Amino acid sequence: MILISFLFVGLILAACSGGEDVNSKESEESGGGKETTLHVAALESAYGTEMWDQIAESYEAANKNINIELTIEKNLEEVIRPNMQAGEYPDVLLLATNRPEALTETLIKENGLENISDVLNMNIPTEKVTVNKKLLDGFTDTLATNPYANGETYLAPMFYSPTGLFFNAGLFEEKGWKVPETWDEMWELGEKAKKEGISLFTYPTTGYFDTLVGSMLYAAGGPEFYNAAMTYEDGIWETEEASQVLQTIEKLAEYTHSDTVANANPNDFTKNQQFILDNKALFMPNGNWVVDEMKEAPRSKNFQWGMTSIPAFEKSGDRYAFTFFEQIWIPAAAKHKDEAKEFITYMYSDEAASIFLDAGAVQPINGITKKLEGQKQTFYSIYEEEGALPAMGTFASTEPVPGASMGDTLYGTIDSVMSGETSFEEWQAEMEEVSDKLRPAMN
């Protein structure tokens, strides 16, 4: 509450201040016009800091009246919070949601983010294309970018990582099997594999169902239905779409490796992942980090990682692959909002994308996968080449409600469903009950 109060006071001070700009310096240039210092703050991740130095240098070279002041830190929240509490905000922030400090969520709750819907229709510098034409479909139709579910964008998608069902592509080639595109085809393959002593499915732990269930909810009812589930709409878990998702997971139990539940814990989860490498199971939900995670593990002959989107519920139906991405945004109290918006458009330019890509950071823009190589190209091409749609988002935040957790109820119950201890009907009733408890507490 102290942090929220300071942030709120900061917003008021910044909005009402008519004095000297303490966040940037402006000086007259000999050629006329003003020089503006744009403060860009970004979380330092595995991609490093050098790419941001290159971005600043390139942007300043093309925009003579702009100086970029960078703050790139691993503990970014701790570094920028004191200034923000004093009313001095960065102009641009690359700081995603779902971090322990929840600084981005705090500002969302306090209406502390600038509406950047207009950025989507702005032209990218030196390119005759708007931002929304450059972005892959679906990346701005989610609670992760439109947190108020009102069709307005407050956070723009940046570096992303797709997830899906991982499998041994070498085995499929050897057997002449086709990767299923629908759940009916999955069951058919499951019967075929069962005759050869291979299970259709396994999972590391139930936590990995967050991406699988999310993609299935999208496939069952589209983005609006998914958002309704994420915002605890009354009766949402009793709908035909939700029933279809939960019943499909219950049916997966018939095709899941018998040792999966016993191994689905922090100590033994790699044993379940090993089932894929040993051809004891065909598919598991995971992200591309599994490649490094299992790089030293033994594997079957001709093993080759493959990844596919979640099957559709009907032939030619939409298929989704859940993706995690970082977000870039502008504080409502920023001093230079117009310049900040121009800077964000530059983030999607070919020049900027190339700089980021050299550091290993991939953005959700058209044509990016053609610049990737090897397994990375296989994973990231799931949207462009396979035609999968991105699924994104999470449950809306609420005030704490004792004994009510959507994560515990939705994902934590799955082991019990897989072992046959909990029926689909019981699981569904529990979901609706918890959703009803959380709806009044939603922020």
Give the type of residue at 282. L
pLDDT at residue 33 in the model = 60
Q: CATH top-level class for 8-154+330-365? A: alpha beta
pLDDT at residue 126 in the model = 87
Is 403:436 a contact under the CB 8 Å cutoff?
A: no
pLDDT: which is higher, 419 or 399:
419
| 291-302 mean pLDDT | 92
pLDDT at residue 158 in the model = 96
The pLDDT confidence band at residue 118, using thresholds 50, 70 and 90, is very high
Q: pLDDT at residue 282 above 50?
A: yes
The answer regarding whether domain 163-322+397-441 maps to CATH 3.40.190.10 reads yes
Nearest to 284 by CA among 365, 211, 392: 211
Domain regions of the chain by residue span: 8-154+330-365, 163-322+397-441
| 218-244 mean pLDDT | 94
Q: pLDDT at residue 1 above 50?
A: no
Averaged confidence pLDDT in the chain: 89
Residue-wise pLDDT for 68-85, tens only, equals 999 999 999 999 999 999
pLDDT at residue 205 in the model = 95
Q: pLDDT at residue 410 above 90?
A: yes
Is 322:214 a contact under the CB 8 Å cutoff?
A: yes
> Residue 441: which residues within 8 A CB-CB, separation 6 or more?
398, 399, 400, 401
Same topology for domains 8-154+330-365 and 163-322+397-441, yes or no?
yes
Furthest-apart CA atoms within the chain: distance in Å: 80
